[in-house]
Chain A
Amino acid sequence: MSLLQIKNLHVEIDGKKILNGLDLTIEKGTVHAIMGPNGSGKSTLAYVLAGKADYEVTEGDVLLDGRSILDMAPDERAAKGLFLAFQYPVEIPGVATMTFLRTAVNAQRKKRGEGEYSTPDFLKKVREAAAKLEIDPDMLKRSVNVGFSGGEKKRAEILQMTMFEPRLAVLDETDSGLDIDALKVVSEGVNRLRSPERAFLVITHYQRLLDHIVPDVVHVMSRGRIVKTGGKELALELEARGYAQYAEAAE
């Protein structure tokens, strides 16, 4: 069974149509990339998958392991293994990153009927993962995303992803705001997690991320639909020729 199936998805916000019949199927163990111009609806897709309120699904369905998730609360989806690395990670003043991670990981484990991590085990795991992502341990004591630079925020998202061990990770423009060194560190973080049981949906505006996280499938999105699907060479073609040609395809 496919891990994720999106069927003819139509989404509106405040009466404005944003996704217009989007289809997408993702198998376990694969990495899919979605590329598309600004405003084409990439973040909207990510939010709808994660269950953000305000987005109205007017038609279609989203299935995880063959079961619709549209009626599930965001935390239920998270417990089922869906993770979203936010394009704009949210700041939570007064809540230390370490506390946040431990609370959230244990909340998910509890929902799945798994035991909580002991504190020392957890600390060890976080510190190891942080070191690999070149995150200063002091950052874990700071409030979630508060005062983090753009690059730090993105690394912190990948650190969280590492701790949650999701089955489907959606990365929304994780490359934006990263310099080339940070891009490498973050990409390696993602590549380490690639496994036959786990899939990724990597949303990006630029081809360069895909040099590091090599996708199995590349989709082009325009005006709320997938207008072309191909292999990793499609990303190179896009880089050379731009998105303009696909604008018409979406009409």
Chain B
Amino acid sequence: MPAVQETVDQVRRIDVDQYKYGFETIIESDKAPKGLNEDTVRFISEKKNEPAWMLEWRLEAFRRWLTMREPTWARVDYPKIDYQDYYYYSAPKKKPALNSLDEVDPEILRTYEKLGIPLREQEMLAGVVRPEGERRVAVDAVFDSVSVATTFQAELKKSGVIFMPISEALREHPDLVKKYIGSVVPVTDNFFATLNSAVFSDGSFVYVPPGVRCPMELSTYFRINEKDTGQFERTLIIADKGSYVSYLEGCTAPMRDEHQLHAAVVELVALEDAEIKYSTVQNWYPGDAEGKGGIFNFVTKRGDCREKNSKISWTQVETGSAITWKYPSCILRGDNSRGEFYSIAISNGRQQVDSGTKMIHLGKNTTSRIISKGIAAGKSQNTYRGLVSAHRKASNARNFTNCDSLLVGDKCGAHTVPYLEAKNSSAVFEHEATTSKISEDMLFYCRQRGLSAEEATALVVNGFVKDVLQQLPMEFAVEAQKLISISLEGSVG
């Protein structure tokens, strides 16, 4: 999400107790027929004008997917998904012109405005005076299955950074895409990733050339609008030698009684001395208090520290979705590489979260750090699942894990499932975990000072997650803080 003041203000203004992004945009769309078969895959590939190899790649994934079973090991419980009951492609009918926002359907622009996502780069380029020091953020806005606008492309191009919808990258930079796509999350990786490989429709592509520090933060904003539509986005970020990029991702969806399906794949590749910082604020519609509706969020995110001294850092604030199944991971292949995972996962109502990370130490002197803060309220279930492993050759691997859970009320559950595997005797893994209930004394103290029960809970929870909030870009942290308060509404009293 963007980091401009309007957004911050927008989020501040939000104070009613319901999902704030639940409105629907009425717009004509172009859809693939409902259901999933080889023709659906061909339809998508054709819509995107993809090269032939991409279609083959998708079809292979699809055939493989038919032989796979949906995983059941996560601590989540949901009705069986009928994969034939979804639309796998939906695009706003009026085709947006990619270099001019003026040609984007005004309804869509309004949607993003309502969400607080500024797509109006022209304004800034035209010299509208902005507060000093305000950071600019380039935004790629994905609406259902397609990218509707990507801002600041021209300026980014000057520094050599490629930031565009992946569908466009497939046409303009096919060799780069071909070289890296599926190289971190193989086509056959898991049920949801394989499904994504077959039917992914859009997402962002980023390439930062050697030695370049990306001049602004990059951001993709995902929105599912259409009914019964699955969103399968695919993001691929490559930081070439000695480069740096910070990328933010935000997500919302309208309120609907039916569950919507979201199965994304994100692949990050960091080459020698490169660093990627990837932040997410996930606020998909969580369903109502009784568990009706809400997004099923099955996401495969993985970063490959492919060469020495590279670094990948994941920061996530997860407040939405009915079901979250998500484990942003790092493969620490290069010697001296470093992986980080900072997570805040809040569940309320009937939400179920099973999230965590994997730190796979393969290279020498690799280090990783995991800070996870889980907050369960209402009747929700919140599980941290994390794997730390050191390969035989990963001498001096180091991991520090701190995993804290906070319970708000007594009808919710928090669980910690750590897996540790050290095949090298020099590996040192430290693991700390705590589970606590929000303290009545703390709440009373805050209330004596004038805070309502909800304000007090939000304040205590914000304190609890502070270590992770600090990892977010500053303006983003303000939004996240607000989101935390909002998502805890109705959890007390």
Contact = CB atoms under 8 A, between A and B. Distances in A.
Interface in A68-85: 73-75, 77-79, 83-84
A204 interface: no
A100 interface: yes
A50 interface: yes
Contacts of A107: 449-452, 455
Nearest to B441: A90
B469 to A, nearest CB: 9
A87 B443 CA distance: 16
A95 interface: yes
Contacts of A83: 448
Nearest to A145: B445
B260 to A, nearest CB: 34
B20 interface: no
Interface string A8-52: 000000000000000000000000000000000000000000111
A94 B467 contact: yes
A92 B449 contact: no
Contacts of B445: 86, 89-90, 92
Interface in B433-452: 439-442, 444-452
A160 B449 CA distance: 9
Nearest to A90: B445
B482 to A, nearest CB: 13
Contacts of B459: 92, 95, 100, 103
A240 interface: no
Contacts of A111: 450
Contacts, number: 80
Contacts of A77: 448
Interface in B459-484: 459-460, 462-467
Contacts of A51: 447-448
Contacts of B442: 90-92
A104 interface: yes
B448 A84 contact: yes
Nearest to A50: B448
B97 to A, nearest CB: 43
A119 to B, nearest CB: 14
A182 interface: no
A89 B445 CA distance: 8
B307 to A, nearest CB: 36
Contacts of B444: 50, 52-53, 74, 90
A89 B446 CA distance: 11
A100 B449 CA distance: 9
A89 B441 CA distance: 10
Contacts of A50: 444, 448
Given A94-B467, A103-B455, A74 B462 contact: no
A94 B464 contact: yes
A104 B464 contact: no
A53 B450 CA distance: 15
A200 interface: no
Q: How many A residues are at the interface, by size bracket?
A: 20 to 34
Nearest to A146: B463
A95 B452 CA distance: 16
B450 A105 contact: yes
A92 B446 contact: yes
A143 B467 CA distance: 12
Given A74-B444, A92-B442, A104 B463 contact: no
B344 to A, nearest CB: 12
A51 B451 CA distance: 13
B447 A143 contact: no
A84 B444 CA distance: 11
A104 B446 contact: yes
Contacts of A73: 447, 452-453
A108 interface: yes
A42 B459 CA distance: 29
Contacts of B452: 73, 75, 107
B302 to A, nearest CB: 30
A173 to B, nearest CB: 16
Contacts of B455: 103, 107
Nearest to A104: B449
A93 interface: yes
Nearest to B456: A75
A78 B448 contact: yes
Contacts of B447: 51, 73-75, 78
Contacts of A84: 448
Contacts of B446: 92, 100, 104
A113 to B, nearest CB: 14
Nearest to A105: B450
A97 B231 CA distance: 43
B463 A93 contact: yes
Given A92-B463, A95-B463, A164 B448 contact: no
Contacts of A108: 449-450
A93 B448 CA distance: 18
Contacts of A94: 462-467
A157 to B, nearest CB: 10
Nearest to A95: B463
Contacts of A164: 449-450
Contact of A143 (B439, B451, B463): B463
A19 B392 CA distance: 68
Nearest to A84: B448
Given A90-B441, A103-B455, 16 more contacts: A53-B444, A73-B453, A74-B447, A79-B450, A89-B445, A91-B442, A94-B467, A95-B459, A95-B460, A103-B451, A103-B459, A104-B451, A107-B450, A111-B450, A160-B449, A164-B450
Interface of A: 50-53, 73-75, 77-79, 83-84, 86, 89-95, 100, 103-105, 107-108, 111, 143, 160, 164
Interface of B: 439-442, 444-453, 455-456, 459-460, 462-467
20 contacts: A52-B444, A53-B444, A73-B452, A73-B453, A74-B444, A75-B449, A75-B451, A75-B456, A78-B448, A78-B449, A92-B460, A95-B466, A100-B446, A104-B446, A104-B451, A107-B450, A107-B452, A111-B450, A160-B449, A164-B449
Sorted nearest first, the 9 A-B pairs with minimum C-beta distance are A94-B463, A108-B450, A94-B466, A95-B463, A104-B449, A90-B445, A74-B447, A78-B450, A107-B450
